Protein backbone atom coordinates (compact mmCIF):
# COMPACT_ATOMS: atom_id res chain seq x y z
CA UNK A 1 0.00 0.00 0.00
CA UNK A 2 1.28 3.45 -0.91
CA UNK A 3 2.22 5.70 1.99
CA UNK A 4 1.02 9.19 1.20
CA UNK A 5 3.16 12.06 2.42
CA UNK A 6 2.87 15.75 1.56
CA UNK A 7 6.37 17.15 1.36
CA UNK A 8 5.46 20.81 0.89
CA UNK A 9 4.73 23.10 3.81
CA UNK A 10 0.97 23.51 3.69
CA UNK A 11 -1.77 25.47 5.33
CA UNK A 12 -4.52 23.06 6.41
CA UNK A 13 -7.26 25.56 5.61
CA UNK A 14 -6.19 27.41 2.47
CA UNK A 15 -4.06 24.70 0.90
CA UNK A 16 -1.11 27.08 0.59
CA UNK A 17 1.98 25.17 -0.43
CA UNK A 18 0.15 22.63 -2.55
CA UNK A 19 -0.15 22.67 -6.33
CA UNK A 20 -2.64 25.27 -7.39
CA UNK A 21 -5.13 22.76 -8.75
CA UNK A 22 -8.46 21.57 -7.38
CA UNK A 23 -9.79 18.39 -8.98
CA UNK A 24 -13.60 18.49 -9.19
CA UNK A 25 -15.07 14.99 -9.27
CA UNK A 26 -18.71 15.66 -10.07
CA UNK A 27 -20.63 12.40 -10.20
CA UNK A 28 -18.05 10.23 -8.43
CA UNK A 29 -19.53 7.32 -6.46
CA UNK A 30 -18.47 6.12 -3.01
CA UNK A 31 -17.23 2.72 -4.21
CA UNK A 32 -14.68 4.38 -6.54
CA UNK A 33 -13.83 7.44 -4.46
CA UNK A 34 -10.76 6.06 -2.67
CA UNK A 35 -9.14 4.86 -5.89
CA UNK A 36 -9.77 8.20 -7.57
CA UNK A 37 -8.21 10.07 -4.65
CA UNK A 38 -5.13 7.84 -4.69
CA UNK A 39 -4.74 8.32 -8.44
CA UNK A 40 -4.88 12.09 -8.08
CA UNK A 41 -2.41 12.22 -5.19
CA UNK A 42 0.01 9.93 -7.03
CA UNK A 43 -0.17 12.29 -10.02
CA UNK A 44 0.52 15.32 -7.81
CA UNK A 45 -2.92 16.87 -7.24
CA UNK A 46 -3.66 17.25 -3.55
CA UNK A 47 -6.87 19.28 -3.41
CA UNK A 48 -9.96 17.27 -4.30
CA UNK A 49 -13.57 18.45 -4.41
CA UNK A 50 -16.67 16.27 -4.42
CA UNK A 51 -19.72 18.31 -5.48
CA UNK A 52 -22.75 17.68 -3.30
CA UNK A 53 -24.92 16.89 -6.32
CA UNK A 54 -22.89 13.70 -6.78
CA UNK A 55 -24.28 10.32 -5.61
CA UNK A 56 -23.85 10.02 -1.82
CA UNK A 57 -21.15 12.71 -1.78
CA UNK A 58 -20.54 12.67 1.96
CA UNK A 59 -19.65 8.99 1.83
CA UNK A 60 -17.19 9.72 -0.98
CA UNK A 61 -15.58 12.56 0.98
CA UNK A 62 -15.10 10.32 4.01
CA UNK A 63 -13.75 7.46 1.90
CA UNK A 64 -11.22 9.75 0.19
CA UNK A 65 -10.01 11.20 3.47
CA UNK A 66 -9.60 7.74 4.95
CA UNK A 67 -7.67 6.63 1.85
CA UNK A 68 -5.11 9.43 1.58
CA UNK A 69 -5.07 11.08 4.99
CA UNK A 70 -3.10 14.33 5.18
CA UNK A 71 -1.62 13.84 1.72
CA UNK A 72 -4.64 15.65 0.27
CA UNK A 73 -7.25 18.15 1.32
CA UNK A 74 -10.71 16.76 0.62
CA UNK A 75 -13.63 19.17 0.31
CA UNK A 76 -17.09 19.61 -1.11
CA UNK A 77 -18.45 21.65 -3.98
CA UNK A 78 -21.91 22.95 -4.85
CA UNK A 79 -22.39 23.77 -1.17
CA UNK A 80 -25.50 25.94 -0.95
CA UNK A 81 -26.69 25.96 2.69
CA UNK A 82 -25.28 26.15 6.18
CA UNK A 83 -26.64 22.65 6.81
CA UNK A 84 -24.58 21.44 3.87
CA UNK A 85 -21.52 23.01 5.48
CA UNK A 86 -22.12 21.19 8.77
CA UNK A 87 -22.67 17.90 6.92
CA UNK A 88 -19.39 18.33 5.04
CA UNK A 89 -17.53 18.96 8.29
CA UNK A 90 -19.06 15.82 9.83
CA UNK A 91 -17.86 13.82 6.81
CA UNK A 92 -14.24 14.94 7.42
CA UNK A 93 -14.34 17.62 4.72
CA UNK A 94 -11.70 20.34 4.96
CA UNK A 95 -12.87 23.01 2.55
CA UNK A 96 -16.09 24.26 1.01
CA UNK A 97 -16.61 25.47 -2.56
CA UNK A 98 -19.82 27.08 -3.78
CA UNK A 99 -21.05 28.25 -7.18
CA UNK A 100 -22.22 31.49 -5.55
CA UNK A 101 -21.31 34.05 -2.89
CA UNK A 102 -23.49 33.21 0.11
CA UNK A 103 -22.40 35.15 3.19
CA UNK A 104 -24.06 32.71 5.60
CA UNK A 105 -22.31 29.74 3.98
CA UNK A 106 -18.94 31.50 4.18
CA UNK A 107 -19.47 32.42 7.83
CA UNK A 108 -20.51 28.88 8.79
CA UNK A 109 -17.56 27.42 6.94
CA UNK A 110 -15.13 29.61 8.85
CA UNK A 111 -16.92 28.97 12.14
CA UNK A 112 -16.27 25.25 11.64
CA UNK A 113 -12.62 25.78 10.75
CA UNK A 114 -12.73 24.88 7.07
CA UNK A 115 -11.39 26.63 3.99
CA UNK A 116 -13.91 28.81 2.15
CA UNK A 117 -13.90 29.18 -1.65
CA UNK A 118 -17.10 30.91 -2.80
CA UNK A 119 -18.00 31.38 -6.44
CA UNK A 120 -17.85 34.99 -7.64
CA UNK A 121 -18.03 36.81 -10.96
CA UNK A 122 -18.10 40.53 -10.17
CA UNK A 123 -16.00 42.90 -8.05
CA UNK A 124 -18.98 43.38 -5.72
CA UNK A 125 -19.20 39.63 -5.07
CA UNK A 126 -15.43 39.37 -4.66
CA UNK A 127 -15.26 42.02 -1.97
CA UNK A 128 -18.36 40.73 -0.20
CA UNK A 129 -16.77 37.27 -0.04
CA UNK A 130 -13.47 38.63 1.25
CA UNK A 131 -15.25 40.71 3.90
CA UNK A 132 -17.14 37.59 5.04
CA UNK A 133 -13.87 35.72 5.55
CA UNK A 134 -13.33 33.73 2.34
CA UNK A 135 -9.88 32.17 2.03
CA UNK A 136 -9.90 32.29 -1.76
CA UNK A 137 -12.12 33.25 -4.67
CA UNK A 138 -13.51 30.90 -7.30
CA UNK A 139 -14.08 32.92 -10.46
CA UNK A 140 -17.00 31.04 -12.00
CA UNK A 141 -17.67 30.60 -14.81
CA UNK A 142 -14.27 32.00 -15.71
CA UNK A 143 -14.79 31.63 -19.45
CA UNK A 144 -17.57 34.25 -19.30
CA UNK A 145 -15.27 37.13 -18.38
CA UNK A 146 -12.06 35.56 -19.65
CA UNK A 147 -8.51 36.39 -18.72
CA UNK A 148 -9.00 40.07 -19.56
CA UNK A 149 -11.88 40.40 -17.12
CA UNK A 150 -9.96 38.64 -14.37
CA UNK A 151 -6.96 40.88 -14.97
CA UNK A 152 -9.14 43.95 -14.53
CA UNK A 153 -10.56 42.65 -11.25
CA UNK A 154 -7.18 41.45 -10.02
CA UNK A 155 -5.91 45.02 -10.20
CA UNK A 156 -8.18 46.00 -7.32
CA UNK A 157 -8.31 42.77 -5.29
CA UNK A 158 -5.96 42.19 -2.33
CA UNK A 159 -2.78 40.52 -3.65
CA UNK A 160 -2.87 38.05 -0.76
CA UNK A 161 -6.28 36.65 -1.76
CA UNK A 162 -5.91 33.56 -3.98
CA UNK A 163 -7.96 33.69 -7.18
CA UNK A 164 -8.81 30.45 -8.97
CA UNK A 165 -10.37 30.26 -12.44
CA UNK A 166 -13.05 27.59 -12.78
CA UNK A 167 -15.26 26.77 -15.73
CA UNK A 168 -14.11 26.50 -19.31
CA UNK A 169 -10.38 26.78 -18.57
CA UNK A 170 -8.11 23.97 -19.78
CA UNK A 171 -4.37 23.32 -19.49
CA UNK A 172 -3.67 25.21 -22.70
CA UNK A 173 -5.14 28.30 -21.04
CA UNK A 174 -3.08 28.19 -17.84
CA UNK A 175 -0.37 30.57 -19.00
CA UNK A 176 -2.67 33.35 -20.17
CA UNK A 177 -4.83 33.15 -17.04
CA UNK A 178 -1.78 33.07 -14.78
CA UNK A 179 -0.46 36.18 -16.54
CA UNK A 180 -3.82 37.82 -15.83
CA UNK A 181 -3.35 37.17 -12.12
CA UNK A 182 -4.92 33.78 -11.49
CA UNK A 183 -3.25 31.77 -8.75
CA UNK A 184 -4.74 28.41 -9.70
CA UNK A 185 -7.49 26.45 -11.38
CA UNK A 186 -10.45 24.21 -10.72
CA UNK A 187 -10.50 21.15 -12.98
CA UNK A 188 -13.89 19.78 -13.95
CA UNK A 189 -14.94 17.42 -16.73
CA UNK A 190 -11.46 17.47 -18.22
CA UNK A 191 -10.16 15.48 -15.28
CA UNK A 192 -13.20 13.40 -14.35
CA UNK A 193 -16.50 12.37 -15.88
CA UNK A 194 -18.70 9.51 -14.68
CA UNK A 195 -17.52 6.29 -16.27
CA UNK A 196 -13.83 7.16 -16.21
CA UNK A 197 -11.49 4.73 -14.50
CA UNK A 198 -8.80 5.60 -11.99
CA UNK A 199 -6.31 5.06 -14.81
CA UNK A 200 -8.14 7.59 -16.98
CA UNK A 201 -8.10 10.10 -14.14
CA UNK A 202 -4.41 9.49 -13.56
CA UNK A 203 -3.55 10.24 -17.20
CA UNK A 204 -5.63 13.42 -17.18
CA UNK A 205 -4.14 14.53 -13.87
CA UNK A 206 -0.58 14.02 -15.08
CA UNK A 207 -1.31 16.26 -18.08
CA UNK A 208 -2.78 18.97 -15.86
CA UNK A 209 0.15 18.78 -13.44
CA UNK A 210 2.61 19.06 -16.31
CA UNK A 211 0.83 22.18 -17.62
CA UNK A 212 0.67 23.65 -14.12
CA UNK A 213 4.35 23.09 -13.43
CA UNK A 214 5.32 24.58 -16.77
CA UNK A 215 3.58 27.82 -15.76
CA UNK A 216 4.18 28.00 -12.01
CA UNK A 217 7.38 25.96 -11.68
Which residues are designated catalytic? 49, 138
- Strand, helix or coil for residue 47: strand
- Rounded to whole angstroms, the Cα distance separating 102 from 90 reads 20
Helix runs in 3-51, H state only: 30-43
Q: Determine the Cα–Cα distance for residues 44 and 177; give it in Å rounded to an integer.
A: 21
DSSP H helices in 15-168: 30-43, 57-68, 82-90, 103-111, 123-132, 142-154
Distance, in Å, from the CA atom of 34 to the CA atom of 71, rounded to the nearest integer, reads 13
Amino acid sequence: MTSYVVEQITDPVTGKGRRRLIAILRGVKPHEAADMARALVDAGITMIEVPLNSPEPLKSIAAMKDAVGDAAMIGAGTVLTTKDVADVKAAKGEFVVSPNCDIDVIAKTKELGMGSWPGVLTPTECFAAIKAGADGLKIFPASIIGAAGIKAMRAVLPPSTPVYAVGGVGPDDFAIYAKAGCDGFGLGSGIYKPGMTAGDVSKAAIAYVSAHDAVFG
